[in-house]
Chains A and B, each alone.
Chain A
Amino acid sequence: MAGRGLARGPGMLLVWLYGVMSVGAVSRSVLQIATEFDRAPLAYTLSALAAVVYVFITYTLVRGGETARKAALVCCAAELVGVLTVGTWTLVDPGAFPDATVWSDYGYGYVFIPVLLPVTGILWLRKARRPSPA
């Protein structure tokens, strides 16, 4: 693999899970935005945003290197904030969400993977830090 250090060991499992979430979130938002965007614009826009974050993190994990590691770390943090914000938002104000997003109720519909993934991601990315070879 071209990746230096990020897609090895536990990182491989993370690549797989982020890959699955990417495929799931992307196909879900493409379908929803293409067919019934007007029904729940906010929910579908947030799903699309989640999809972009997942794809980007998957890419950085596979690419590897110190810059990618930092970028992935920032995105995992953003992802965590996103899940917590949207999760709380959907619970407090369900009226704003006629349909579910990927991050509704802290990712309940996805076995809570959306809220667990960024945490394990951040742990792994911190552990994978090492002086980058010249």
Chain B
Amino acid sequence: MLDALTVAVSVAALALAAWCGFAAYRDQPTKDWHFIGMAVVSVLALAQLVVGIVRLAGGGEADEGTAIFLAYLIGAVCAVPAAGFLSLAERTRWGSATVAAGALVLAVLEVRLYDIWTR
């Protein structure tokens, strides 16, 4: 896959996790700026999905299989928006903690995605 993009998504996800984790630590709910951050991370993940599909269409092959690769790509796109949606319903520090957990899940998915593509 595109290693630079995988690294970019991972770094952005970890930054978002730290940022929202800090908000949770300071007893604050997610705010507009956090949602902009989530949008940036989600756009990166979406770009990754597109690149992944293009690579598959271009004859590329994931080492652990196309189905697993696609499932993880889709999971990566959904992780942060889903957590952000929950944080809209939970306007306390725990909403921020949920987004932080969501971003961490995304970072883990990125590591797995790298493994799945090349081993």
Contacts and interface: CB of A to CB of B under 8 A. Distances in A.
B68 A9 contact: no
Chain B interface size band reads 20 to 34
Given A20-B105, A31-B67, A111-B108, A15 B86 contact: yes
Interface string A23-56: 1100100010001000000000000000000000
Interface of A: 1, 7-13, 15-17, 19-20, 23-24, 27, 31, 35, 111
Given A8-B90, A9-B94, A19-B82, 6 more contacts: A13-B101, A15-B86, A20-B79, A31-B67, A31-B68, A31-B71
Contacts, number: 40
B52 interface: no
A17 to B, nearest CB: 6
A35 B94 CA distance: 39
Nearest to A10: B94
B90 A23 contact: no
A12 B79 CA distance: 15
Interface in B46-102: 67-68, 71, 75, 79, 82-83, 86-87, 89-90, 92, 94-95, 97-98, 101-102
B117 to A, nearest CB: 17
Given A23-B75, A31-B68, A12 B98 contact: yes
Interface of B: 67-68, 71, 75, 79, 82-83, 86-87, 89-90, 92, 94-95, 97-98, 101-102, 105, 108
Contacts of B102: 16
A12 B101 contact: no
28 contacts: A1-B89, A7-B90, A8-B90, A9-B90, A9-B94, A12-B86, A12-B87, A12-B89, A12-B90, A12-B94, A12-B98, A13-B94, A13-B101, A16-B82, A16-B86, A16-B98, A16-B101, A16-B102, A17-B101, A19-B82, A20-B79, A20-B105, A23-B75, A27-B71, A31-B67, A31-B68, A35-B67, A111-B108
